[in-house]
């Protein structure tokens, strides 16, 4: 996988209370590209953060249907990846200096 694809596969980390609790068990949640495969996500995480990935679980969330001023539409869907790391490894997502 080329360097450009690595940076487009991982969009952003998901920061929430649940993802903070999961990080205690070496599991991290990321927003990923809707066309990314599990193998691409694993390669991108290992290249960006220098860690070893045990497993990748992917969740597809469909966009909601909404009505605005009588016109129906649909919001964009998203894809989340839950990345499990080897025991003892961690990713520093929020480093304030």
Q: What is the pTM of this model?
A: 0.86
Please check whether residue 91 lies inside any domain of the structure. no
Q: Give a yes or no: residue 57 inside a domain.
A: yes
Please indicate, yes or no, if residue 92 is contained in any of the structural domains: no
- Terminal C-alpha separation, the chain: 32
Residue 59: per-residue pLDDT: 97
Nearest to 42 by CA among 25, 28, 60: 28
- Average of per-residue pLDDT across 66-91: 94
DSSP letter assigned to residue 5: H
Does 39 reside within a domain?
yes
Say if residue 96's pLDDT is above 70: no
- Residues whose CB is less than 8 angstroms from the CB of residue 95 and which lie 6 or more positions away in sequence, other chains included: none
- In tens, the pLDDT along 26-73 reads 999 999 999 999 999 999 999 999 999 999 999 999 999 999 999 999
Tens-place pLDDT, residues 55-64: 999 999 999 9
Task: Report if residue 81 sits inside a domain.
Answer: yes
* Strand ranges for 1-97 from DSSP E: 10-13, 27-32, 53-61, 65-68, 71-74, 78-85
Domain that holds residue 35: 3-85
Cα–Cα nearest to 31, from 52, 8, 48: 8
What's the CATH number where 46 sits?
Answer: 3.30.70.330
- Do the domain assignments include residue 79? yes
Q: How many domains does the chain have?
A: 1
> Residue 43 domain-assigned?
yes
What's the pLDDT score for residue 33? Answer: 95
pLDDT of residue 81 exceeding 50, the answer is yes
What pLDDT does 95 receive? 56
Looking at residue 1, what is its pLDDT?
A: 80
Residue 55 lies in a domain: yes
């Amino acid at each position: 996988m080329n360097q450009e694809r690595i940076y487009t596969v991982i969009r952003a980390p998901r920061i929430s209370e649940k993802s903070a609790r999961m990080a205690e068990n070496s599991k991290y949640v990321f927003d990923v590209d809707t066309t990314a495969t599990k193998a691409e996500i694993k390669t991108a995480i290992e290249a960006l953060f220098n860690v070893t990935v045990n497993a990748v679980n992917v969740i597809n969330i469909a966009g909601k249907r909404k009505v605005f001023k009588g016109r129906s539409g649909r919001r964009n869907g998203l894809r989340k990846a839950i990345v499990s790391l080897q025991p003892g490894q961690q990713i520093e997502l929020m480093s304030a200096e």
